[in-house]
Chains A and B, each alone.
Chain A
């Protein structure tokens, strides 16, 4: 069982499944299977139904009145009801199309977005989706019905990695467009100047949004594990760098770590949550981060 669960959360395994909705369901169900004793299991204020007490159930949900009246043990179950509005912002710039191990960063982001949406809708929260890239963008406003999943998946499937990223333009525009306060989740490789990223986050924070940044990179981008001397071509700007990886690997890693630390520091400064991911990290890591954030918000 634990093996099956691990497979459902493995990006490489999930990417082989054809349908995105199926993938999202599998990921979330696989994730929830591991959380059966989790405090995130939905209990809210609005009563829904009774269920017979089973040994091991928490006593705090026992209906003492029914017990007093009928000497039978029943648990009260509640319909969760929140007013959380989540906004998934997926970066579709050209750099997101990079994948060294079969899964591109955009694939990973789409799958993660779909899984988050499925999870969010399953908890009766509202979720909206925004695709952002330089000079263009598509959006689906937030809704909380399960039927809203279909347009979300439709947009996710249409996403193509192309063009450059301009956080100042795209994210600022989105910050203006999302009026109602909510949770903004940015799924991006953040390949822009950290100061611009900071400004964009600041803009969301200024609009009283909670921000959760999923910083998605390819493992090769982190490790820079090439061996051969080659011409490395920037996928967005087209810049060409001829170099010897073995000579510069340590230098590259140091620079990249410094950049990620800088982004993390910016997020802390702006009171946003920062989650560093690579496309080989199982999805439960991101889903847990989301649930942690949600629990703090509610």
Chain B
């Protein structure tokens, strides 16, 4: 049976108004007043028939007036009829998850940001709530916080919604969904509904987030996925800037490398990049990106803009702001970086003498002119040199086709790594896979080695990038799955990573790992010599070797991991600070920091998360300690929309029926009409009241005419 409900029930208090015509009618009939009047002889006495007719008409008028007032009051109370088959007829616990992460600031083709559309949908939901509904609102970027708004006061909730803007924070969809789910499950109301209003950005919907949706549906909550857009907006963005400035091509000038990504199905040509220090333009260039491409791009930077080592104090750190052409998501078209001191990477290359002098392909790739102009200086040594290894001597150790290390050398190497040094291991026909697999690698990288494998006679192994945009590949213009080089590689040591901490960067077309990376460590499972093919003679060799060393060196330099908005800023300190460390950032951000030991140094971590991108300064007792750059989480840059149906279809069959997709504003409106608001009746009621009033006027004037 259809149920009648009122969306503005407070207007029902005006119902007694409808009694006014009846009261006036009754009062007027109680006792007639006496009026002295001289010319009563001109008054005609009404006949009983006339009196009956007049009374009948008066009653009719009374009914018309009363009904018109009643209909007016009811129209203002906005009655709605909920169909008998409505999903929800009783008061419900309603959870609303509103995505206000950075991607919601993206400007849609109609010129409005996604958050505006999302707020409109959320407002409709709140306005459609009924008396008794318990509403809880959670925000996607505050997943680790309790549910933000709760209650049944629609006005307050609507005001809270109006204040919401897209934040620079990334979405923590799984955490927010979990928090809201638990809130709903604690509700005493048996009917529970969860609305997720989001752009359903692919990067935000991890397996855990999808699992939360399924969990909520499995627990009896009806889940409604409300996507605010279906458009994959093209967007290009910064993803990182290498803080280490390198010498330019052939040792001339300096260049800065930025990792860029093009989240679009079409290429982006000549994206203008500008590097600024403060207001001064210090470098930049044009970059073209293929569709979906993510790669490092080097661009010249004015050498004078870079602080020298002598002046490289924390306060004098070079702060670079990189900008690119504004697109659909303007917030990710800017990136902040604090540049390190330009330096030459010192590589200690360990090779074993085997009669003749070993080939120096790798050394030449790093420092072709032997003067360090390329940014690398290479020192060739035997494994015995490892016994005196320390950070003062080298930044990176390159073990090239070394059979095995002595126990002392191995211990010294481990100590070197603990001190922040980097390690590149290139295997070869003489290296002992057993030694590396069972002795050296444990504790360094989770990689198990087997025996070397050779390509079939006359055949060759083909190298392909397995991941895009890794620093090891930064000098190579390759996409995922594309061949790294045309060079023939005839052998490699078969290996397998044993944990996610080790990442395969390059593999053969048959899936065998060739380059495996871990923090501070890079392993090349083939030979950097010409023992196993022609790789040293290919164009990919130089950038690959430099990429391997660069990766180990970057990790070894202790450069802080990319700090993102929403996480506490952290800075590596060279010495133990004294006094309270304060952190100041953009706007009025101010926090204190705690100090943790990290390797041979210290790390200061702010107590409060960074609310916005920019430069954050650490100081103690008015002495500058460090400056770090905080940027937006690159995951928000990918505006590709997830097919929402994939979330639903991943649910178990039992939960499937409780997950629905409301893909447009009209679909949401239909849903709210069918389940909560019902068919609104105010317009027909208003029309009926107007008709009744018109009838009353007509009857009253007709009465006068006849009289």
CB nearest neighbor in A for B34: A231
Count of residues in A whose CB is under 8 Å from the partner chain: 33
Interface-facing stretch out of A124-132, A137-145, A232-240, A283-291: A232-240
Bound-complex Cα distance A218 to B37 (A): 10
**Residues of chain A with a CB closer than 8 A to B39's CB:** 191, 217, 221, 256
> Is the C-beta of A107 less than 8 angstroms from some C-beta in chain B?
no
**Residues of chain A with a CB closer than 8 A to B33's CB:** 228, 230-231
B30 CB → nearest A CB, Å? 12
> Is the C-beta of B687 less than 8 angstroms from some C-beta in chain A?
no
A69-113 vs B, CB cutoff 8 Å, 1 = contact: the mask equals 000000000000000000000000001001000000000000000
CB nearest neighbor in B for A100: B37
Contact B707–A235 (Cβ < 8 Å):
no
B47 CB → nearest A CB, Å? 11
Interface-facing stretch out of A9-17, A176-184, A206-214, A247-255: A247-255
Bound-complex Cα distance A95 to B46 (A): 24
**Residues of chain A with a CB closer than 8 A to B37's CB:** 98, 221, 232-235
Contact B707–A250 (Cβ < 8 Å):
yes
Which chain B residues (575-623) contact chain A, with CB distance < 8 Å? none
> Is the C-beta of A246 less than 8 angstroms from some C-beta in chain B?
yes
Contact B46–A252 (Cβ < 8 Å):
no
Contact B35–A251 (Cβ < 8 Å):
no
**Residues of chain B with a CB closer than 8 A to A259's CB:** 42
Contact B45–A189 (Cβ < 8 Å):
no
Interface majority SS on B: helix, strand, loop or mixed? mixed
B28-67 vs A, CB cutoff 8 Å, 1 = contact: the mask equals 1000111111111111111000100010000000000000
| Known A230-B32, A230-B34, A231-B33; contact A247-B707, beta-carbon cutoff 8 A | yes
CB nearest neighbor in A for B54: A247
Instruction: Tally inter-chain residue pairs, CB-CB below 8 A.
Output: 82
| Known A243-B45, A252-B42; contact A235-B36, beta-carbon cutoff 8 A | yes
| Known A233-B37, A234-B38, A235-B38; contact A242-B704, beta-carbon cutoff 8 A | no
A238 CB → nearest B CB, Å? 10
Bound-complex Cα distance A248 to B703 (A): 11
Among B33, B38, B44, which residue has the most Cβ atoms of chain A within 10 A?
B38
> Is the C-beta of A195 less than 8 angstroms from some C-beta in chain B?
no
> Is the C-beta of A51 less than 8 angstroms from some C-beta in chain B?
no
Given contacts A233-B40, A246-B704, 7 further A-B contacts (CB under 8 A): A229-B32, A230-B34, A235-B37, A241-B43, A247-B54, A255-B44, A259-B42
Bound-complex Cα distance A259 to B42 (A): 9
**Residues of chain A with a CB closer than 8 A to B703's CB:** 246-247
**Residues of chain B with a CB closer than 8 A to A256's CB:** 39, 42
| Known A98-B36, A231-B34; contact A247-B28, beta-carbon cutoff 8 A | no
**Residues of chain A with a CB closer than 8 A to B45's CB:** 241, 243
**Residues of chain B with a CB closer than 8 A to A189's CB:** 38
Bound-complex Cα distance A98 to B36 (A): 8
| Known A228-B28, A249-B707; contact A244-B40, beta-carbon cutoff 8 A | no
Q: Which A residues have a C-beta under 8 Å from some C-beta of B? A: 95, 98, 189, 191, 217-218, 221, 226, 228-236, 239-244, 246-252, 255-256, 259
Contact A241–B40 (Cβ < 8 Å):
yes
A124 CB → nearest B CB, Å? 38
Bound-complex Cα distance A229 to B44 (A): 14
Give the contacting residue for A231; candidates B35, B38, B50, B54; CB below 8 A: B35
Bound-complex Cα distance A21 to B603 (A): 112
Contact A234–B42 (Cβ < 8 Å):
no
Contact A232–B28 (Cβ < 8 Å):
no
A249 CB → nearest B CB, Å? 7
**Residues of chain B with a CB closer than 8 A to A233's CB:** 34-37, 40
Closest 8 CB pairs of A and B: A95-B38, A255-B42, A234-B40, A232-B37, A247-B707, A230-B35, A231-B34, A98-B38
**Residues of chain B with a CB closer than 8 A to A95's CB:** 38
Contact A248–B44 (Cβ < 8 Å):
yes
**Residues of chain A with a CB closer than 8 A to B34's CB:** 230-233, 240
Bound-complex Cα distance A243 to B35 (A): 11
Bound-complex Cα distance A242 to B33 (A): 10
Contact B54–A232 (Cβ < 8 Å):
no
Among A239, A243, A247, A256, which residue has the most Cβ atoms of chain B within 10 A?
A247
A175 CB → nearest B CB, Å? 25
Bound-complex Cα distance A209 to B229 (A): 104
Bound-complex Cα distance A229 to B32 (A): 7
Bound-complex Cα distance A241 to B45 (A): 7
| Known A247-B50, A247-B707, A248-B707; contact A234-B41, beta-carbon cutoff 8 A | yes
16 contacts between A and B (CB under 8 A): A98-B36, A98-B37, A98-B38, A191-B41, A221-B37, A228-B28, A228-B33, A230-B35, A231-B34, A231-B35, A233-B35, A235-B36, A246-B703, A247-B46, A250-B707, A252-B44
